[in-house]
A = this chain, B = another copy of it.
Amino acid sequence: MRSAATGMSAPHANPTEPDARRYARLPEAFAMWRGGTLHGGHVAYETWGRLNRARDNAVLLFTGMSPPAHAAASPENPREGWWQRMIGPGLALDTERYFVVCVNSLGSCFGSTGPASIDPATGEPYRLTFPDLALEDIARAGHELVRSLGILRLDTVIGPSLGGMVVLAYAALFPGAARRLVSISGTAAASPFAIALRSIQREAVTSDPAWRNGQYSPEHPPATGLRLARKLGTVTYRSAAEWAERFDRQPIRADLSGSTPFGAEFAVQGYLEVQASRWVNAFDANCYLYLSRAMDRFDLSAHGDPRVVLRRADLAEALIIGVESDMLFAIAEQRSLAEAFQASGTATQFAPLPCIEGHDAFLVDTERFGRLIGGFLAG
């Protein structure tokens, strides 16, 4: 597959799998936010809908930490995407009206350059020689993609979770580059509670002997550490109330219970096991470590007084969404973010949602999110 915009061939495509990814080259020498330079990097992306003649109907979607750019099905890849019920004709991100672009984060492992990619200078994977990664780098890689598509100004930049932080970096770095902004379950700076939870997950990976200081082979990843990290991640993405409804104290399904000492006994443990198993086989450990730490380190105020930074961003409107049951990105954080937008003079809507699914509500309660975001975009 070749990208019309860049003529690049797909570096990781498997010809037997449907694949809608295109690729945008980054500048040959891409100076990273915290120092270091990435050479010959690129980002993978997918699109839905059509860019209009005025090139002013584009919506750029940044993802959470682990999803790929495949947010929805398309003719090239009919598989369901991670935000399938949100993107399409007549849906919240209405592809009859908008040209929707979803970018795989720089540093991830689903087509964009990251620690698992081959370093052209050595012919070996970067692993821990990948330069320090900041959310600003992810924002800028998305911006380079937008420019490569000939788009001068986005209609909207939008993202959930990690993406809800990246849109803030985008606004800070590229004044005037988006007319509107939607931050979903994000934060201006990670709380110590979120840092604690993520740092334990990273430690689970780095203390797995199979991690080998990042030198594991793709066939032998630090599966034990990744499994623990993902199980803990899954807990933080949901809520106690949802699980009380969903699992209560039901016993585990017989086919999921093991016979090891202290093995799983309750249904909720089976759920964690299924979530973890899927992820261990899909996500690269070093990429995970880089992305996770980048979330801890991000702080909008590093760009200056947020009110000043956000005024300079020159947004016509902002929508800040939070979920009351979110334990990882607490509702108080979205509230104070919305207040900073308001104080900057931006027309801001703050939507605290009563969903019980916690941080992941944007993936689950798409009816509520769809109404809200669709209404905002329809303006």
Q: Which of A227-252 contact B (CB under 8 A)?
A: 227-228, 231-232, 234-235, 239-240, 243-244, 246-249
Copies of this chain in its oligomeric complex: 2
Nearest residue (CB) in B for A290 is B262
Nearest residue (CB) in B for A197 is B235
**What residues of chain B lie closer than 8 Å to A293, measured between beta carbons?**
262
**What residues of chain B lie closer than 8 Å to A264, measured between beta carbons?**
199
The answer, yes or no, to whether A91 is at the interface (CB within 8 Å) is: no
- Which of A154-162, A207-215, A315-323 is found at the contact surface with chain B? A207-215
Q: Which of A244-292 contact B (CB under 8 A)?
A: 244, 246-249, 260-262, 264-269, 272, 289
A248 near B192: Cβ-Cβ < 8 Å: yes
**What residues of chain B lie closer than 8 Å to A272, measured between beta carbons?**
196, 199-200
Q: Nearest chain B CB to A207's CB is how many angstroms away?
A: 5
B249 near A214: Cβ-Cβ < 8 Å: no
Q: Chain A: how many interface residues by the 8 Å CB criterion?
A: 52
B240 near A202: Cβ-Cβ < 8 Å: no
Known: A199-B272, A203-B231. 20 other contacts (CB 8 A): A190-B249, A191-B240, A191-B244, A192-B240, A192-B244, A192-B266, A195-B268, A196-B234, A196-B272, A197-B235, A199-B266, A200-B231, A202-B262, A206-B260, A214-B261, A232-B232, A262-B289, A265-B296, A266-B296, A327-B327
Task: Identify the 6 closest CB pairs spanning chains A and B, nearest first.
Answer: A193-B240, A192-B268, A192-B243, A192-B247, A207-B224, A200-B231
Question: Can you give 18 contacting A-B residue pairs, CB < 8 Å?
Answer: A191-B243, A193-B235, A194-B240, A195-B249, A195-B269, A196-B231, A197-B235, A199-B272, A200-B228, A203-B227, A203-B262, A206-B261, A213-B261, A232-B232, A240-B327, A240-B330, A262-B293, A265-B297
